[in-house]
Amino acid sequence: MNNKVRLKVKPAFVKKMKAGYPLVDAEAVINKQDVTSEGTLIELVDERGQFIAQGYYGEQNKGIGWVLSKNAHEGINKEFFKGKIKRALDERAAFFNDQDTTAFRVFNGEGDGIGGMTIDYFDGFYLINWYSEGIYRFKAAIIDSLMALMDVKGIYEKKRFAKKGAYMEDDDFVIGEHAPAPLIVKENGMNFAIYLNEGAMVGVFLDQRDVRKAIRENYADGKHVLNTFSYTGAFSIAAALGGAAKTTSVDLANRSRSKTAEHFMINGIDDGTQDIIVEDVFNYFKYAVRKQLTFDMVILDPPSFARSKKHTFSAGKDYPALLQEAIQITEKNGIIVASSNCSTFSMRKFKGFIEKAFKETGDTYNILREFGLPKDFKTNPEFKEGDYLKVVIIQKTT
């Protein structure tokens, strides 16, 4: 596609790269200055000039590019992209065949062999997330591959390479038919309203599918459920459909009220029977304690980092305190669903947070179930950071 630039890998990083680590760290290469144009193909070599891997240059919030192949002779061309995409689509055959689920991830970046981009499927429409200008340079090859391989209704894109992975405000339509707004998709029979052209977030986080199913089938029946950081209320809908006595959804964003009401409505639930509250979660906890409100289930799914008027929340630092707030208003034998998508700490550390929080409040607990990413969010075993999701279902036993 274009001329390759040779990048020398520092000795300390050679072993890791040879073992299959797919991200090119800025600190891993000696002559980074030799590559300046996004999308340039790169060849990684050791100090003696021996081939390690080839890939592309693309500046992201982490790393300066991704390995595409460990074979020196493999051409990085249209066929290469088509091959990777075909394989990823084939691996999702069970999802395509499931009539009850019409929204899932079909390509998960480095997990499927091309870091820096993801593709999600929404009932015939495809949504591509581009995480660097470098990968965006291969757009034509990727779009052509999708169009050739699938019966595509339409394609949308999110350019997330303005600054630090931020979303660039744009018209996100690429090709084909325009999707209805909302586009109603299904997940295990549940309906979700997707807006493909209204900003970075389209209405549902697909990586929580298995957790929603578990809440609905195993934990919600007859329960009073508090869903914090509720966004469009997806967990509340799952709980309500699972027989919850009542759900309370709390999110700071104004949009969450109408989006959550819409989600109840399209699932045949009268939103008037549920509470949807637009407020800072940390204020709500104080209010609940003051009013002696308690819940049988509290769902915690905060962003990794958030700043509101009065609070800054950083998952790696503040999760134990958040858990303590939840423990205080959870009934005896009640459930806490603790979730984090923060890639800077592991499940082990997350369980340490849980232990710490319960120690502080003096309560006891059992871990009932744990979740990571679902199957369609395929990960690369050499890239632990990519395996970011941690969800723990905890029962408070005091």
Would you say 208 or 380 has its CB closer to ligand SAH? 208
| Pick 84 or 158: Cβ nearer ligand SAH | 158
Q: Which residue, 191 or 232, is less far from ligand SAH as judged by CB?
A: 232
Q: What is the DSSP code (8-state) at residue 80?
A: H
Minimum CB separation of residue 309 from ligand SAH in Å reads 9
Residue type, 91: E
CA angle 286, 292, 293 (to 5 degrees): 85
Binding region for ligand SAH (CB under 6 A): 205, 208, 229-232, 234-235, 251-253, 256, 280-282, 301, 303, 306, 308, 311
**Residue 220 Cβ vs ligand SAH, minimum distance, rounded to whole Å:** 14
Q: Based on CB atoms, which residue is closest to ligand SAH, 209 or 378?
A: 209
Residue ranges of alpha helices (H) inside 92-230 are 93-97, 133-136, 139-149, 209-214
Q: Write down the least CB distance from residue 3 to ligand SAH, Å.
A: 42
To the nearest whole angstrom, how small is the minimum distance from the Cβ of residue 230 to ligand SAH?
6
Q: What is the DSSP letter of 163?
A: S
Distance CA 106, CA 161 (A): 21
Question: Least CB distance from residue 162 to ligand SAH, whole Å?
Answer: 20
Quote the CA–CA distance of 255 and 271 in Å, as a whole number. 15
List 117's β-bridge partners, or say none.
130
For residue 48, give the DSSP letter: T
| Distance between CA atoms of residues 135 and 124, nearest Å | 23
C-alpha closest to that of 187 among 245, 121, 248: 121
The smaller minimum CB distance to ligand SAH, of residues 228 and 380, is found at: 228
Are the CB atoms for 373 and 211 separated by under 8 Å? no
Q: Residue 30 or residue 253: which is nearer to ligand SAH going by CB?
A: 253
CB of 229 to ligand SAH, least distance (A): 4
